[in-house]
Protein backbone atom coordinates (compact mmCIF):
# COMPACT_ATOMS: atom_id res chain seq x y z
CA UNK A 1 0.00 0.00 0.00
CA UNK A 2 1.06 3.59 -0.48
CA UNK A 3 3.34 5.32 1.98
CA UNK A 4 1.25 8.48 1.68
CA UNK A 5 -2.03 6.95 2.80
CA UNK A 6 -3.75 8.94 5.49
CA UNK A 7 -2.12 12.29 4.95
CA UNK A 8 -4.37 15.24 4.19
CA UNK A 9 -1.80 17.36 2.32
CA UNK A 10 -2.80 18.11 -1.26
CA UNK A 11 -6.11 16.31 -0.81
CA UNK A 12 -8.92 18.10 -2.63
CA UNK A 13 -11.45 20.03 -0.58
CA UNK A 14 -14.67 18.00 -0.70
CA UNK A 15 -18.00 19.71 -1.27
CA UNK A 16 -20.47 20.08 1.55
CA UNK A 17 -23.29 17.65 0.82
CA UNK A 18 -26.91 18.13 1.88
CA UNK A 19 -27.53 16.51 5.26
CA UNK A 20 -23.87 16.80 6.23
CA UNK A 21 -22.47 18.67 9.20
CA UNK A 22 -20.63 21.01 6.85
CA UNK A 23 -17.14 19.74 7.65
CA UNK A 24 -16.21 16.85 5.32
CA UNK A 25 -12.57 15.84 5.27
CA UNK A 26 -10.45 14.40 2.47
CA UNK A 27 -7.77 11.81 3.12
CA UNK A 28 -5.00 10.77 0.75
CA UNK A 29 -4.83 7.09 -0.16
CA UNK A 30 -1.78 7.55 -2.40
CA UNK A 31 0.05 10.16 -4.45
CA UNK A 32 -2.20 10.22 -7.54
CA UNK A 33 -4.98 12.85 -7.69
CA UNK A 34 -7.75 10.22 -7.62
CA UNK A 35 -6.30 8.30 -4.67
CA UNK A 36 -8.51 9.97 -2.07
CA UNK A 37 -11.41 9.20 0.24
CA UNK A 38 -13.77 11.63 1.93
CA UNK A 39 -15.42 11.38 5.31
CA UNK A 40 -18.82 13.05 5.50
CA UNK A 41 -20.56 13.18 8.86
CA UNK A 42 -24.31 13.73 9.11
CA UNK A 43 -25.77 16.78 10.84
CA UNK A 44 -27.71 14.40 13.09
CA UNK A 45 -25.97 11.05 13.50
CA UNK A 46 -28.14 7.96 14.05
CA UNK A 47 -25.38 5.34 14.01
CA UNK A 48 -21.72 4.99 14.85
CA UNK A 49 -21.28 2.76 11.79
CA UNK A 50 -20.21 4.06 8.40
CA UNK A 51 -21.37 3.49 4.82
CA UNK A 52 -18.44 3.09 2.42
CA UNK A 53 -19.46 4.12 -1.11
CA UNK A 54 -17.44 3.00 -4.14
CA UNK A 55 -18.43 4.62 -7.46
CA UNK A 56 -18.78 2.97 -10.85
CA UNK A 57 -17.80 4.27 -14.26
CA UNK A 58 -16.81 1.51 -16.68
CA UNK A 59 -13.34 1.31 -15.02
CA UNK A 60 -12.54 4.54 -16.96
CA UNK A 61 -11.83 8.09 -15.77
CA UNK A 62 -14.33 9.76 -18.13
CA UNK A 63 -14.02 12.05 -21.14
CA UNK A 64 -10.52 13.19 -22.10
CA UNK A 65 -11.72 16.80 -22.36
CA UNK A 66 -12.92 16.72 -18.74
CA UNK A 67 -16.58 17.17 -19.68
CA UNK A 68 -17.49 13.91 -17.95
CA UNK A 69 -15.73 12.35 -14.98
CA UNK A 70 -16.37 8.94 -13.52
CA UNK A 71 -15.26 9.64 -9.98
CA UNK A 72 -16.58 9.78 -6.42
CA UNK A 73 -18.87 12.70 -7.31
CA UNK A 74 -21.13 10.08 -8.99
CA UNK A 75 -22.12 8.99 -5.46
CA UNK A 76 -22.92 12.46 -4.08
CA UNK A 77 -26.70 11.95 -4.29
CA UNK A 78 -26.53 8.56 -2.56
CA UNK A 79 -24.21 10.05 0.06
CA UNK A 80 -26.62 12.95 0.64
CA UNK A 81 -29.52 10.52 1.15
CA UNK A 82 -27.49 8.54 3.68
CA UNK A 83 -26.39 11.71 5.48
CA UNK A 84 -30.03 12.88 5.67
CA UNK A 85 -30.83 9.50 7.29
CA UNK A 86 -28.07 10.06 9.87
CA UNK A 87 -25.49 7.69 8.37
CA UNK A 88 -21.81 8.73 8.14
CA UNK A 89 -20.28 8.21 4.67
CA UNK A 90 -16.77 7.27 3.53
CA UNK A 91 -16.66 8.20 -0.17
CA UNK A 92 -13.90 6.33 -2.05
CA UNK A 93 -12.13 7.21 -5.30
CA UNK A 94 -9.55 5.20 -7.20
CA UNK A 95 -7.35 5.30 -10.29
CA UNK A 96 -9.20 4.08 -13.37
CA UNK A 97 -7.90 2.40 -16.53
CA UNK A 98 -6.15 5.13 -18.52
CA UNK A 99 -5.59 7.16 -15.34
CA UNK A 100 -2.88 5.03 -13.73
CA UNK A 101 -5.28 2.25 -12.75
CA UNK A 102 -5.98 -1.22 -14.04
CA UNK A 103 -4.96 -4.54 -12.57
CA UNK A 104 -3.87 -4.56 -9.78
CA UNK A 105 -3.63 -0.79 -9.08
CA UNK A 106 -7.38 -0.09 -9.03
CA UNK A 107 -8.03 -2.92 -6.57
CA UNK A 108 -5.11 -1.77 -4.42
CA UNK A 109 -6.55 1.76 -4.33
CA UNK A 110 -9.90 0.47 -3.08
CA UNK A 111 -8.17 -1.75 -0.51
CA UNK A 112 -6.05 1.16 0.74
CA UNK A 113 -9.16 3.33 1.16
CA UNK A 114 -10.87 0.55 3.12
CA UNK A 115 -7.79 0.11 5.31
CA UNK A 116 -7.68 3.86 5.92
CA UNK A 117 -11.27 4.10 7.17
CA UNK A 118 -10.19 1.86 10.06
CA UNK A 119 -7.62 4.50 11.05
CA UNK A 120 -9.83 7.55 10.48
CA UNK A 121 -13.11 6.29 11.99
CA UNK A 122 -12.22 6.31 15.72
CA UNK A 123 -11.22 9.99 15.74
CA UNK A 124 -14.67 10.78 14.32
CA UNK A 125 -16.43 8.61 16.92
CA UNK A 126 -17.20 5.90 14.36
CA UNK A 127 -16.90 2.13 14.57
CA UNK A 128 -15.23 0.85 11.38
CA UNK A 129 -16.23 -2.64 12.49
CA UNK A 130 -19.79 -1.57 11.65
CA UNK A 131 -18.94 -0.47 8.11
CA UNK A 132 -21.14 -1.44 5.18
CA UNK A 133 -19.46 -1.36 1.76
CA UNK A 134 -21.68 -0.43 -1.18
CA UNK A 135 -20.57 -0.20 -4.78
CA UNK A 136 -22.24 0.64 -8.08
CA UNK A 137 -21.22 -0.99 -11.37
CA UNK A 138 -17.40 -1.23 -11.41
CA UNK A 139 -17.50 -0.07 -7.78
CA UNK A 140 -19.65 -3.11 -7.00
CA UNK A 141 -16.81 -5.35 -8.13
CA UNK A 142 -14.38 -3.42 -5.92
CA UNK A 143 -16.76 -3.47 -2.95
Q: Is residue 19 one of the residues assigned to a domain?
A: no
81-102 residue pLDDT tens: 999 999 999 999 999 999 999 9
Number of domains in the chain: 1
Q: Is residue 55 one of the residues assigned to a domain?
A: yes
Question: Among residues 84, 71, 82, 76, which one has the least CA distance to residue 137?
Answer: 71
E-assigned strand segments in 41-130: 50-54, 89-92
Task: Give the CATH number, domain containing residue 31.
Answer: 3.40.50.1820
For the whole model, what pTM was predicted? 0.90
3-44 residue pLDDT tens: 445 544 567 788 999 999 988 999 999 999 999 999 999 999
Residue 60: which domain range?
25-142
Q: Is residue 13 one of the residues assigned to a domain?
A: no
Amino acid sequence: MSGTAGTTSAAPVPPVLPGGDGAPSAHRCGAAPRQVAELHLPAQRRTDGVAVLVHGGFWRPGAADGSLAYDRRLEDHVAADLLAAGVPVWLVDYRAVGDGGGWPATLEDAATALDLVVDVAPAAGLDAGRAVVVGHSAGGHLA
